[in-house]
Structure 1
């Protein structure tokens, strides 16, 4: 059974730019993500630990897993597909991303029913709209 279990990390990029790292177990068509961490090195340790538990490697030493110092490894197939789908970052893509801020931010402020949130979001949206306009004006470098 242990060799049939794939243990990996599933990163999820959040709308505020941060990333959560889910520890995933996959066996056939069943999958579970029992842990989530804000720091990747913590997820890396848990993946190494569970791989050891399932007989897929050596027992990890916890102090080998430090912030920005996790062991080198190959990306999983899921991670490779996620990175490949991102493609090249262009001015148009950045402008579209900034344009998305308005609806998400206003929607959240509306749900909070908070006048301060509306004021802050309105000011931030103006700034992001200016960035969007500038990106669209200048376009891609020649």
Structure 2
């Protein structure tokens, strides 16, 4: 699976597309969401998942692990699958965002990054509309795609 991620990353870089990752942290059939601080430049006050830009020399999965650690204090355990991929533009640049379904190690109480997130919650498949506040319907689509990906996983 990781070889495919490397190929996707290399192709995006060749095309000059910026890379972003997101982590749909799965626990007991729910995904974790955090509310972005109200003074953030992008999507202030909106619900989001841990994630961000892929830094130079970093792999997609390496970026997921780093962003999880920075934004929640959690350590990546396992990447269960890819929920969705989509492109969007910011300041005239195309960004490609990869949303992964993951599990984390240890305590499932997030330590949210100060100044960047103000609260967190666990969202079940019947409550994905709750992350679409402030017109941010893309987050609902991401959570719905995450639950569809979970449904497609092989039972263990």
For the aligned pair, the TM-score class normalised by the smaller chain equals under 0.3
Relative CO higher for 1 or 2, CA cutoff 8 Å, sep ≥ 6?
Answer: 2
- Compare CA radii of gyration and give the structure with the larger one: 1
Structure with higher helix content: 1
TM-score, structure 1 length as denominator? 0.27
TM-score, structure 2 length as denominator? 0.25
